[in-house]
Structure 1
């Protein structure tokens, strides 16, 4: 698996976890820009400490196994239990995580002076 492929898998799991890049940055200590570069494949390298920190921030762990290892039934069961525990939604139904922002009218009301106050 390349770093680019790992970044795409990370992005899918982040979306399933319903986290923004900013939230992951706060949890992991890795700048949001680096997370974006990692997810889009624009990052040439990523240190092990940062990678582990990113994984931990979204509830993933790194598992080391021999190259060419084929998935076993135990691997499938573990993945299914992990997905069920996170109340996972298919990545295809979620493209982006955004939290609601104040409407412009609310912001203007909070800074605008009443008209009769000027008289």
Structure 2
């Protein structure tokens, strides 16, 4: 898996967690602009601590294993536990709920 694929996996996990880039930024301490560039493959590098912080914010773990290592039983079980996202879901935007419209109260002061 290369860095661009990591960004895509992160984006899918963020959408599955129903979090905005801003919410992840606030939780991880990474700027929203950097998160956006990471997701789109435009970020040239990201430190390990920051990457782990981003992954933790959306419920991902990072595993180290030998190059060329095949899928394990843990990989298969994790895929079965994770609901697949449709192509429509991967294109959706996460939106924050809008605050109730405030009504303007006018009164005469005394």
1:38-53 aligned at under 5 Å gives the runs 38-53=38-53
| TM-score w.r.t. length of structure 1 | 0.77
For structure 2, the 5+ residue unaligned runs are: none
| TM-score w.r.t. length of structure 2 | 0.82
Corresponding residue for 1:4?
Answer: 4
2:95 equivalent to 1:98: yes
How far residue 101 of structure 1 moved from its aligned partner, in angstroms, is 2.3
Separation of aligned partners in 2, 1:53 and 1:14: 13
Q: How many residues align?
A: 106
How far residue 64 of structure 1 moved from its aligned partner, in angstroms, is 0.6
How far residue 79 of structure 1 moved from its aligned partner, in angstroms, is 3.1
Bigger Cα Rg? 1
Alignment partner of 2:34: what SS? helix
For the aligned residue pairs, the C-alpha RMSD in angstroms reads: 2.0
Corresponding residue for 1:72?
Answer: 72
Deviations 1:46-94 (A, max 9, x none): 000000000001111101111011113332013323x2xxxx4614232
Corresponding residue for 1:54?
Answer: 54
Deviations 1:25-45 (A, max 9, x none): 111111111100100111010
How far residue 99 of structure 1 moved from its aligned partner, in angstroms, is 1.6
